[in-house]
Amino acid sequence: MSTKDSNTSQELFNLNGKPSFGQALPLAFQHVVAMIIGCVAPAIILAGVSGLSESDTVVLIQASLAMSAISTFIQLFPFIKFKSYQIGAGLPVIMGISFAYVPIMQSIAQDADVGTILGAQIVGGIVAIIVGIFIKQIRHLFPPLVTGTVVFAIGLSLYPTAVNYMAGGAGSADYGSWQNWLVAIITLAVVTGLNHFGKGFLKLSSVLIGIIVGYVVALGFGMVDFSSVLTAKWVQFPQPMHFGIKFEPSSCVAIAVLFAISSIQAIGDFSATTTGGMDRMPTDEELSGGIIGYGVSNIVCAFFSGLPTATYSQNVGIVSSTKVVAKRVFGIAAMIMLVAGIMPKIAYILLTIPSCVLGGATISVFAMISMTGIKLINNSKMNYRNTSIVGLAIALGMGVTQANAALAQLPAWVTTIFGKSPVALSTLVAVFLNLVLPKEKEE
């Protein structure tokens, strides 16, 4: 390797480095591959619950990709700096549509529409901005024990969604057929096998490869229809206010609570990025700017029909393993997402993925969300106090939502906030108990 090539390679490991396009492109594409399915799956799931038409579903998928790109740009290149505050972390992170909001979005969509979710998202974005400004003062309310409990509840609440998809999608004519289950299990087997036996690119791309294999098998069963892809436009820009914006109080509260939690969780991803890629902890300015940028980007996303975003932990993992932190690499990844987001043909191709394939691939992702929660919980000593907090929060959160008529005699807003998804109730119970239960003295 020449001195010039060596110097260019070193630029990959410099935050403001300028590696060549040839070196940056494959690394950028690796980040896109790791996040793209997770980015569009929430939109596809929500569209199914909301009963959206195929064209509206495509709009939602396009917005997911394009707005994830914009959110990533905001984090990469901070702007509007004022004293010690800025919008964006200035760190090498990838932003994408978050599964964490799927349970609450599903519950809102059953009674309202996508516009109501987007209105609540704006309120959540404002909450995130406030959290970013006062992060030092409120961080103590969300120790690992509390955030771990919430993440655990999120994972548990997503399991029925994945299983319904594995069976073919609730309400479909072939729901529960052996073909659906066979394709789903093959997809899951490939993902699981690559996660445990694959290395490098194969392991990082396990979900994508699993979906490709499942897709090919589904083609053999005649489950894929390409007719809509052939007639789709090549280029179509995101449509502002396509679903409208509506503000419904109970939905706003439910989403806002989760935004506060996700803002605190983002600290973990920002910290993992800097420690794994740059051997240092993030500065207060980076943390505050990252959370403020998270809030601002979600407000922007809502106006362009983009669902709630969050930092992507799988991409943080890539940073930790490769040590590549040059913002140019992540900027190119964001450009790839943006181009994909303005090409309807790509959205329609993603829409042809059968539900059983999507279910087989995502159930492992949901399982990892739950296990991440357990890991966070285990950062605390599991004494009687802490097990009571976790146990009661999960018991009440999951129990109330599974007992469908438990809140029937209470006002409708109570059911919307606490009765449809376990996340909000588990969060409030965990925070409350952590504040009021006496801490045990160390022996």
8-61 pLDDT tens trace: 567 777 778 888 888 888 778 767 766 777 788 788 888 888 888 878 888 888
183, pLDDT greater than 50: yes
* Residue 347: per-residue pLDDT: 67
Answer whether 386's CB lies under 8 Å from 380's CB. yes
4, pLDDT greater than 60: no
pLDDT category at 443 given cuts 50, 70, 90 is very low
Q: What is the mean pLDDT of residues 200-224?
A: 79
Range with the largest mean pLDDT of 29-38, 135-144, 250-259, 343-352: 250-259
Range with the largest mean pLDDT of 106-110, 267-271, 301-305, 321-325: 301-305
The more confident residue out of 313 and 433 is 433
Q: What is the mean pLDDT of residues 330-347?
A: 84
195, pLDDT greater than 60: yes
Q: What is the 3-state secondary structure (H, E, C) of the chain?
A: CCHHHHHHHHHCCCCCCCCCHHHHHHHHHHHHHHHHHHHHHHHHHHHHHHCCCHHHHHHHHHHHHHHHHHHHHHHHCCEEEECCEEECCCCCCCEEECHHHHHHHHHHHHHCCHHHHHHHHHHHHHHHHHHHHCHHHHHHHCCHHHHHHHHHHHHHHHHHHHHHHHCCCCCCCCCCCHHHHHHHHHHHHHHHHHHHHCCCHHHHCHHHHHHHHHHHHHHHCCCCCCHHHHHCCCCCCCCCCCCCCCCCHHHHHHHHHHHHHHHHHHHHHHHHHHHHHHCCCCCHHHHHHHHHHHHHHHHHHHHCCCCCEEECHHHHHHHHHHCCCCHHHHHHHHHHHHHHHCCHHHHHHHHCCCHHHHHHHHHHHHHHHHHHHHHHHCCCCCCHHHHHHHHHHHHHHHHHHHCCCCCCCCCHHHHHHHHCCHHHHHHHHHHHHHHHCCCCCCC
User: Over the chain, what is the mean pLDDT?
Assistant: 80
Q: What is the mean pLDDT of residues 133-156?
A: 78
Global confidence as pTM = 0.71
Q: What is the mean pLDDT of residues 282-301?
A: 88
Q: What is the mean pLDDT of residues 261-270?
A: 74
204, pLDDT greater than 70: no
Percent of the chain whose predicted confidence (pLDDT) is above 70: 88
Range with the largest mean pLDDT of 142-146, 166-170, 215-219, 321-325: 215-219
pLDDT category at 421 given cuts 50, 70, 90 is low
* Residue 109: per-residue pLDDT: 82
Among 114-123, 126-135, 307-316, the range scoring the smallest mean pLDDT is 307-316
pLDDT category at 298 given cuts 50, 70, 90 is very high
1, pLDDT greater than 50: no
* Residue 320: per-residue pLDDT: 67
